[in-house]
Amino acid sequence: MALMRTITGPSDLKGLTQGQVVSLAEEIRAYLISSVSQTGGHLGPNLGVVELSLALHRVFDSPRDTLLFDTGHISYVHKLLTGRHDFSTLRKQGGLSGYPSRAESDHDVVENSHASSSLSWAIGIATGRKLRGETDRHTVAVIGDGALTGGMVWEALNNIADQPDLPLIIVINDNERSYAPTRGGMADYLASLRATQEYEHVLSWGKRQLSRTPMVGRQVYDTLHGMKKGLKDIVSPQGMFEDLGLKYLGPVDGHDVEAMETALRRAHDFGGVVLVHVLTEKGHGYDPATADEADRFHAVGKINPETGLPLEVSGRSWTDEFSDELVRLGRERDDIVALTAAMLIPVGLQPFAERFPDRVFDVGIAEQHAVAMASGLSFTGMHPVVCIYATFLNRAFDQLLMDCALHRQGVTFVLDRAGITGSDGASHNGMWDLTLVGIVPGVRVAAPRDGQQVALALRESVDIDDGPSVVRFPKGSVGPPIEAVRRVGTLDVLRDVPAEGSTADEAPELLLVGVGSMAATALQVADKLHAEGRRVMVVDPRWVLPVSPDLLELARGAGRVAVIEDNIVGGGIASAVSRAFDDAGVDVPVHGYGIPQEFLDHGSRDQVLERIGLTPDAVATSLSARLV
């Protein structure tokens, strides 16, 4: 790592020879493989942008020129080139974020890890600087071909095309993938541009043959040259980007630093909006992370750097439970279809897609479109299951409200990674979904407490055909089933043990409601309070919205009610319970324990829960004081 240690900022790159830059790229790639294999993180995407990141920082002057990354998980090399060399605590509490972070460096601007927003940021920054007379400062947005599938990109491009004199460079990092292979018309168009480049290579080969085997070479060259105009008209009719008024450069080999620098300097000196199309390979330079294994190396846990095999074998996940049940339901019902926004594998749809390929729709990074399309599918009599991360529901709220709920379309939303996800930081925590869906008329929301309940909730959800339903569950391994001791209407009573000296028919001092995966926490809280002689009943509503009348009846006989949830407290289930009590005239205090209304720094899930006081000890201590 001799060269890399000398790079404390982008200015140190300017004087390197091309040979040194190539050596530095090799060092960075080796460092990424070694370090990320120990911490986990987005390995494949960053291996693919080593040379691109070097070229960007050699041509542009960050932070005076602004570099934006879409999505931000491709910023690891950028971090190294801006002096952040300690990756030993990457994505850990107190360590480097897995995304750009303003707290870490002036070189970082946009922290949000959601895709397709960079061009809107870019035109905003470039326009603001133009209005301030700072026209000598460039704005560069690096955006993946996967992110180009998001509709927000095209809204921004429409606006950018109207201001072609802005010093704005759009770099398309085209590796043919988002998480998995990029699909759709945009992907096909970029493929056509790659085909044009391949054609030019073949044409150049034909020219070279003229001097070696004149007869064969001339035949090849004449044939290909005669095809040239027709081929280009087919694959790139006048150029879609140029038709928008955007200067287009490329395609450029994204692993040839010299070619990259030449293209970026031309873009830098052009004096207006330029789109640079760069071809990269996800996982480049690391055999286990390329070809058929690229999807597995998009984001990794701890791995053996030599083999790429995981060092930690995780147990069965919440996603696995959903995935298996959806396949079973698919066999039983041919009206069930599934949609996802470029996350087929992470949300567990791959097995369903293999079994029912015609009933799965990966719409790209376009959550809004996915929900509106699902509403249309529902209208025809199908039952769509929309599978996305809980945090990405934020983007599709309008469609959930106005396209799905308003029209009472039977659509099931499966929200993976609900609650605290931890290491991916503020933008990935699924902590807003219950608040958002809580204001949607007619919605039903299930929060299963274990794997068995995931399957049951999904089965019940797809039977709802008069409005949207939601099933949410967290990230990670699922624990053993939590058995109910009895059923009260639609509720599961998980603990109904009277304290020592009391009788079974005495009303509980505390009715403790565990929402979803927090049911396990609620049981631990109850253990601690039972040890103090408190009478505590623990219930799992299963369907948390709308608030069950059965919960209202149980609450009438309790001294207090407490709700533990992994959603922000404001507008969450505790708020809904309190409102329902007011409406029904239930005069019982309600205490809410959940996530504070703030953005949470990255760390492990347990560390984040400890920091916000959402642990059994912290909740039990608080409730013990309230029960005095």
What is the CB neighbour count within 10 angstroms for residue 334?
10
**Active-site pick, 177, 282, 534, 535:** 282
> Is 115 marked as a binding-site residue?
yes
- Strand 510-514 vs strand 412-416: parallel, antiparallel, or unpaired? unpaired
**Active-site pick, 395, 417, 495, 542:** 395
Is the bond preceding 63 in cis, omega lying within 30 degrees of 0?
yes
CA-nearest of 48, 66, 69 to 116 is 69
> Are the C-beta atoms of 308 and 293 separated by less than 8 Å?
yes
Burial of 427 (0-12, 13-18, 19+ CB in 10 A): middle
What is the CB neighbour count within 10 angstroms for residue 466?
10
Active site residue 475: no
Tokens, residue 492: 């599961």
Strand stretches in 81-125, DSSP E:
none
DSSP-derived letter for residue 55 is: H
Active site residue 359: no
Active site residue 395: yes
Tokens, residue 251: 């395609």
At 209, which amino acid appears? Q
Length of the chain: 628
* Cβ-Cβ contacts under 8 Å for 584 (sequence gap 6 or more): 549, 552
Mind giving me the DSSP string for 173-233?
EE-SBSSSB--SHHHHHHHHHHHHHHHHHHHHHHHHHHTTSHHHHHHHHHHHHHHHHHHHH
> Is 298 marked as a binding-site residue?
no
> Is 146 marked as a binding-site residue?
yes
> Is 367 marked as a binding-site residue?
yes
**Active-site pick, 176, 261, 325, 367:** 367
DSSP-derived letter for residue 317 is: B
Mind giving me the DSSP string for 511-523?
EEEE-GGGHHHHH
DSSP lists the bridge partners of residue 410 as none
> Is 73 marked as a binding-site residue?
yes
> Are the C-beta atoms of 336 and 385 separated by less than 8 Å?
yes
> Is 286 marked as a binding-site residue?
yes
What is the CB neighbour count within 10 angstroms for residue 1?
13
d(CA 262, CA 228): 25
User: Which residues make up each annotated binding site for Mg(2+)?
Assistant: 145, 175
Binding residues: 73, 113-115, 145-147, 175, 286, 367
Summarize the annotated binding site for thiamine diphosphate as residue ranges: 73, 113-115, 146-147, 175, 286, 367
Annotated catalytic sites, by residue?
Answer: 282, 367, 395
